[in-house]
Amino acid sequence: MEMLPFDSGNNEKGLICAANESRFMTANYSEPLTTFTVGWKDGENVEELLNFVAPVVHVGKRFEFKKANNGEMFLSEEDDVRAVGAAFKRIEFSGSTVMEKTLNKGLTVRIDHDDVAGDDWQERYVQLLLRRLYRNELRRAIGALDGAAAETAENVSWSEADGPNPDADIRRVLAAAADSVGVRPNRVLYGEGAWDIRSNVYDTQATAAAQRAATLSLEDLARKFFVDKICVFGARYRSGLTHQTIVGNEVYIFNTRNDIVKDEPADIKRFVTPIDGHNFRVYVEEHSKYTDITVEHYSHIVVTSPAGIRKLIVATAE
């Protein structure tokens, strides 16, 4: 990951740097710009991609959670009827308790007043920082998935020539993960390269089955796999002088869902600490010739149950 310079208090104009916590002064807090972050929608859908991989769970800055026991997802009660004068049966999550904390993250940009144009210039720079922060979080989430799947990663070859069935590989891995941990993964993430290889395989096969597979929508494919959702990642980031895909020729298979609670079983979660009810806070520090805008947030991405995460590394056979 590209390292950013720290905010020194004397930054060049237009430079994006890691925000210094000592500069987050109450006097510079901008309530209007903080409110702007709530209704802001990312045109690049980076936030949506992030929530697909690591859904938000709101917690305090220091919190504890249960390492997931996936078998509890199958529990069912026959004694959930309350007797008169009695309380309802209380359910509890087992597993080891882990202490964690959310991390303070943020970026600052300096804008020279000679470069200011339009009445919405502050909002436009806030959007720039939000997109950058979400992209950083997305790379962390993919990195967490990748690290958790390292021991079970599998190389597969989908050749256009020998008539393979890429979807059969995915179903096989889904079933194997379900047999191993007791829960069938419910999300499949294709990298752009892996999806292109799948498409090329089915597009070049003349069979009716291949043609049907080639025309399936992501929703239809999800129903075929018995999963909740499938996503294809084409998001990129800049590293040095080149742009690289966040997910390339890989397929990740895992279990999580949106609107999840802190101790509910899932493979990966993004713990977020709201600040005064907002996921982000914005600070504006005015100077005579320039303005510093800072966006900060508290979060921590945690793989809470690595056993069910799977990874396929896809190649095209020679």
Model pLDDT, residue 318: 57
Residue 155 makes CB contacts below 8 A (sequence gap 6+) with 312, 313, 315
Model pLDDT, residue 97: 73
Model pLDDT, residue 242: 64
How far, rounded to the nearest angstrom, does the alpha carbon of residue 33 sit from its chain's CA centroid?
24
C-alpha distances (whole Å) from 44 to each of 103, 106, 127, 142, 278 are: 25, 20, 11, 17, 21
The fourth-level CATH superfamily of domain 16-72+93-315 is phage-related protein like domain (3.90.1690.10)
Model pLDDT, residue 316: 79
User: Which residue type occupies 256?
Assistant: T
Q: Domain ranges in the chain?
A: 16-72+93-315
Model pLDDT, residue 7: 63
C-beta separation of 292 from 34 below 8 A: no
Query: How far, in Å, CA of 149 to CA of 252, rounded?
Result: 8
198 is written with which tokens? 């799948």
Query: How far, in Å, CA of 31 to CA of 36, rounded?
Result: 9
* E strands, 41-173, in order: 56-58, 62-66, 97-101, 103-112, 154-157
C-beta separation of 269 from 257 below 8 A: no
Q: Hey, is 232 helix, strand or coil?
A: strand
Query: How far, in Å, CA of 316 to CA of 194, rounded?
Result: 9
User: Which residue type occupies 318?
Assistant: E
Query: How far, in Å, CA of 316 to CA of 303, rounded?
Result: 30
pLDDT tens per residue across span 209-247: 888 999 999 999 999 999 999 999 876 666 655 667 777
Residue 255 makes CB contacts below 8 A (sequence gap 6+) with 70, 183, 184, 185, 186, 187, 265, 266, 267, 305, 308
pLDDT tens-place values along the chain, 318 residues long? 566 666 656 667 677 776 665 555 667 899 999 999 997 887 778 888 899 999 999 999 998 876 655 555 545 566 677 777 778 777 665 566 778 899 999 999 999 999 888 889 999 999 999 999 998 999 899 999 999 998 889 999 987 665 678 999 999 999 999 988 888 999 999 998 899 999 999 988 888 888 899 999 999 999 999 999 999 987 666 665 566 777 778 999 999 988 888 877 789 999 999 988 899 999 999 999 999 999 999 999 999 888 889 999 998 765
CA dihedral 286, 296, 40, 195 (to 10 degrees): 130
- With residue 159 as reference, give the H or E element that holds it: none
How many CB atoms are located within 10 Å of the residue 268 CB? 25
C-alpha distances (whole Å) from 33 to each of 24, 122, 130, 229, 284 are: 15, 8, 12, 34, 9
Question: CA nearest 173: which of 154, 194, 191?
Answer: 154
Query: How far, in Å, CA of 265 to CA of 68, rounded?
Result: 5
Taking the whole predicted model, whether its pTM rises above 0.85 is answered as no
How far, rounded to the nearest angstrom, does the alpha carbon of residue 130 sit from its chain's CA centroid?
14
Query: How far, in Å, CA of 293 to CA of 290, rounded?
Result: 10
Model pLDDT, residue 183: 84
C-alpha distances (whole Å) from 264 to each of 257, 259, 279, 305 are: 10, 10, 21, 11
C-beta separation of 54 from 270 below 8 A: yes
pLDDT tens per residue across span 160-188: 665 678 999 999 999 999 988 888 999 99
Model pLDDT, residue 68: 56
- 292 has which bridge partners? 110, 285
